[in-house]
């Protein structure tokens, strides 16, 4: 057993952990959009509170181990490594900038909501923020693109094409899914009004 194999193992574990973090956040987003009551939102966001540090740590481990492997065994000038590392370096801060503040705003609004009951329009607006879903799903597809680069090791042109296709596919698929399942915050809030209200 060599240092290379150990670091490679750590690198793979970091990738799996980051995938799990993004996947769990997508699962939470789906649950939030189906939630009917504030209690359900609180439960889902509690799961989110547990997964965020795990995802941040996994992303950091993935990047550090990847840099070590690139510098010690390969070269940063290797086409697929260069494209993969640049993609990962862009993904991590982009997620922090686009997802982090909106997730914190949702949590803050949740803190100002009633302890229980129907979800308010203000909370629905945070839940249905399209950037949360688009960024998360696109990130998942981009990570698959990076795994493809690590597996097939294409040249520079092929690597750029792979990541460009992953970016376009991630954006288009997220937009299509959002449009298919689209419900405006006002409509979502209206649907959460008890049926007996209209009857009365």
The predicted-structure confidence for 92-133, as pLDDT tens digits, reads as follows 888 889 988 898 899 888 888 777 788 888 888 888 888 888
Q: What phi and psi values does residue 37 have, to the nearest 5 degrees?
A: -130, 160
Sign of CA dihedral 28, 43, 98, 148: negative
> Distance (Å, rounded) from C-alpha 113 to C-alpha 9?
44
Pairwise pLDDT comparison (45 vs 76), residue with the higher score:
45
3-class SS at 153?
coil
> Distance (Å, rounded) from C-alpha 19 to C-alpha 77?
26
Q: Give me the pLDDT at residue 53, please.
A: 83
Q: Work out the pLDDT band at 187, boundaries 50, 70, 90.
A: low
Pairwise pLDDT comparison (81 vs 75), residue with the higher score:
81
Residue 86 CB coordination number (10 Å): 13
User: What tokens appear for 16 in the block?
Assistant: 């799996």
Say what the pTM is.
0.77
Q: Work out the pLDDT band at 8, boundaries 50, 70, 90.
A: confident
Residue 40 CB coordination number (10 Å): 15
């Amino acid at each position: 057993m060599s240092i290379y194999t150990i670091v490679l193992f750590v690198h793979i574990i970091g990738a799996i952990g980051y995938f799990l973090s993004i996947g769990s956040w997508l699962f939470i987003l789906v649950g939030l959009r189906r939630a009917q009551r504030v209690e359900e939102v609180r439960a889902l966001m509690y799961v989110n509170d547990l997964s965020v540090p795990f995802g941040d740590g996994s992303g950091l481990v993935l990047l550090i181990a990847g840099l070590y492997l690139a510098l010690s065994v390969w070269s940063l000038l290797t086409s697929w490594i260069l494209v993969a590392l640049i993609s990962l370096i862009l993904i991590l801060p982009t997620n922090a900038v686009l997802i982090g503040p909106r997730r914190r705003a949702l949590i803050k609004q949740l803190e100002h909501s009633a302890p229980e009951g129907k979800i308010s329009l203000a909370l629905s607006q945070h839940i249905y923020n399209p950037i949360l879903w688009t960024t998360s799903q696109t990130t998942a597809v981009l990570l698959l693109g990076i795994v493809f680069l690590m597996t097939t090791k294409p040249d520079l042109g092929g690597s750029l094409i792979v990541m460009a296709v992953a970016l376009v596919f991630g954006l288009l698929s997220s937009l299509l899914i959002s449009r298919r399942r689209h419900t405006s915050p006002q409509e979502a809030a209206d649907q959460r009004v008890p049926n007996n209200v209209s009857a009365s």
